[in-house]
Structure 1
């Protein structure tokens, strides 16, 4: 009798274990599904529509001058050079490590989730995946470690993640935002194109089975409107995109790939072939103008002509009233959005950083003439003071010390 009871108990336990394992396997299988495209909509694994709403983690892995209140010192390379002139390369490297460790952490991602967001766009510099000098490292760059952290935090918070190569090899824009040398050399350099493809292949290979990642945005705001050969460059855009897509598809057929228009992601005339891949969508940007459908009609017309999703990857730096009106326009016209940026000095963001004491002395140095060693020496302020100000910035940028911009967040209509 006891033996029968023991056998029965063992069978019951085994049955429960098998049932439990089956349920777990099913959950893993469900979670391993990816966002897909159905006409102009993005579809989640459960079959419901995903309407993108969220923000950008700008400035964290691609420093931009105005977010520190710098003016002339406006690109990652210029900022790093200025800091090195100000406090030396070793202290600058210490600052960048502390900056990366504190500017965005798990609590920031959870805060973003609590605003009603469902998606984060992560801009990054290509140098994070090379051995080039960037943000205090010259070898053993930490790009994957940083992205891995965000992937994990987004998984915990139930958020999707878009990876955006904001600064591509050679430069895709020809301005400060791509950290270039004033021209989009990517479109004329085979070496830069090869590096761009190699990096995307490496990224895609690492994350090919990661469903938290919604997609890969090949690069940001290609071809500024400043160049006399702009139309010639525009004619090369789709081919450069195709090269990047082909590199990714060598290792990853799961993820969507996002393509931005020329001239600040606003000109979609260069696109002639929307069928070369079955998992592409388009992304636009817009700052200013009227918050009406008429003002984005050309974007809507292009979206309708290709019958693929369109998403507003950057929008912001406006009044709360304007933002509320424009978000309503985008919702009515099925264009998801991520506002720029999540965090920066002062306002016009989800959270604002209060400038630390003596930051004005760093601003003064950043704007001073520094074209000769004498000018650098003459402009350099007291070392102890500015080093303290830089470390005070690290403390000020932590979420717990930032000022939450409630009106800004509410204007986005994410709840």
Structure 2
């Protein structure tokens, strides 16, 4: 109850300080060339998160940090918003020791590549609320250990021109009520060293937008900088997992209906939102139509999104948007359709 009371005060402050987010987002705004508005259409540049069960693993064998050509391709499509997943255990091999020099170098190289192409990056710790299988907030992984690694990351990258913000944890789930405390600890630690960057905070239950109000109704984080972006994920298959059946057919408005509870929660609480993951099989006409309608609805609400996924190592994976044999995937045409917008800051508005 104390957190909710504090949140009411912060919510009131948001009505006055809404421009603080708009100012931060101006760095991500497109240069006037081939489209207008801010960068609402993004992709997940995957690869560094592969084989999380093999840690630390070997770069180039178990996982991949993308070469510059991947950033160049998406820039050529006017996609300048990149969510970049990485694995905590590779960054920090031991919970009570420093961060790994090679991983920090590769993260910086990633940001450098993005900067070369006028792109902005969200650094995403892709760990599902855990470190080496143990919940954050458990005796094995205390909140302070989690806060410490984010403090180090923020200190290292806060001034990089390609940094948009920090996605403090991908899809926490089954956290036994520990996740809100963990999220607050990470936000507090980041704000000790960086008051300017956005912080993207996902909800429990895999960040599901459809189930958001069942499990995250009171999930309100206090941020002295007032630059929190709440993040949800959605997929259109029967069990919400992204493991689509081969011939699955969906209603054209399914994506809208699955994201609507999240959008309505954001509106009621005067908060900003981001759809950090969604993806559809490129061979399915019904899925592509549902994706088209979903992006139309998000753009109406000025909510950015990041498609899952691009980057190296995907091959012919049906959700991937990476070209095959030099040919764009069907999903790319829909992404292109929704790039232009009239938004000046992240929504939704009430």
Same fold (TM over 0.5): yes
Cα deviation, residue 270, structure 1 = 4.8
Once the two structures are TM-superposed, the CA of residue 121 in structure 1 deviates from its matched residue by 0.3
Counterpart selection for 1:345 from 284, 294, 315: 315
Equivalence for 2:244: none
Which runs of structure 2 are paired with 1:93-172 in the superposition (5 Å)? 93=58, 96-97=59-60, 104-132=66-94, 140-167=100-127, 172=129
Q: Which has the higher contact order (CA 8 A, sep 6+)?
A: 2
Among candidates 41, 50, 54, match of residue 53 of structure 1: 41
Counterpart Cα distance in 2 of 1:283 and 1:352:
27
How far, CA to CA, are the matches of 1:142 and 1:46 in structure 2?
Answer: 28
Map residues 214-363 of structure 1 onto 2, 5 A cutoff: 214-224=164-174, 233-234=176-177, 236-266=178-208, 267-268=212-213, 269-277=216-224, 278-288=226-236, 290-318=253-281, 319-343=287-311, 344-346=314-316, 347-351=318-322
2:329 to 403, 406, 411: 406
Report the equivalent of 2:11: none
Q: Tell me the secondary structure at the aligned position of residue 293 of structure 1.
A: helix
List alignment gaps of at least 5 residues for structure 2: 1-16, 31-36, 238-252, 282-286, 340-350
Distance 2:138 2:25 in 1: 37
SS of aligned partner of 2:319:
coil
C-alpha distance in structure 1 between counterparts of 2:84 and 2:105, whole Å: 14
Structure 1 Cα separation of the partners of residues 160 and 19 of structure 2: 20
State the distance in 2 between where 1:126 and 1:352 align.
Answer: 29
Unaligned 5+ segments in structure 1 are: 1-35, 65-75, 82-91, 134-138, 174-178, 225-229, 354-401
User: Once the 2 structures are TM-superposed, how far is the Cα of residue 47 of structure 1 from its aligned partner?
Assistant: 8.3
Structure 2 CA distance for partners of 1:243 and 1:287, relative to 1, 3 Å: same
Cα pair distance change 1:272/1:191, threshold 3 Å: closer
Q: How many residues align?
A: 284
Q: How far, CA to CA, are the matches of 1:293 and 1:39 in structure 2?
A: 29
After TM superposition, give the deviation of residue 205 of structure 1 in Å: 0.4
* Residue in structure 2 matched with residue 22 of structure 1 by the alignment: none
Given that residues 118 and 160 in structure 1 are in contact (C-alpha distance below 8 angstroms), is that contact kept between their aligned partners in structure 2?
A: yes
Cα deviation, residue 190, structure 1: 5.8
Larger radius of gyration: 1
Q: Residues 118-141 of structure 1, C-alpha deviation per residue, up to 9 Å, x if partnerless?
A: 2000001012322359xxxxx955
Give the drift of 1:324: 1.8
Preserved CA contact (<8 Å) 1:208 1:253: no
Query: Is the partner of 2:126 in helix, strand or coil?
Result: strand
Q: In structure 2, do the counterparts of structure 1 residues 190 and 98 end up closer, same or farther at CA, with 3 Å as the change threshold?
A: closer
The 3 A distance-change label for structure 1 pair 213 and 248 is same
- Contact 2:121–2:163 (8 Å) recurs in 1: yes
Between the aligned partners of 1:157 and 1:46, the Cα distance in structure 2 is: 12
Partner of 1:43: 25
Q: 1:336-390 CA distances to partner (integer Å, 9 max, x unpaired)? A: 110011041213212267xxxxxxxxxxxxxxxxxxxxxxxxxxxxxxxxxxxxx
Instruction: Decide whether the 8 Å contact of 1:197 with 1:247 is kept in 2.
Output: yes
Answer whether contact 2:82 2:119 (CA < 8 A) is retained.
yes
Query: By how many angstroms is 1:163 displaced?
Result: 0.4
Native 8 Å contact 1:265 1:285 kept in 2: yes
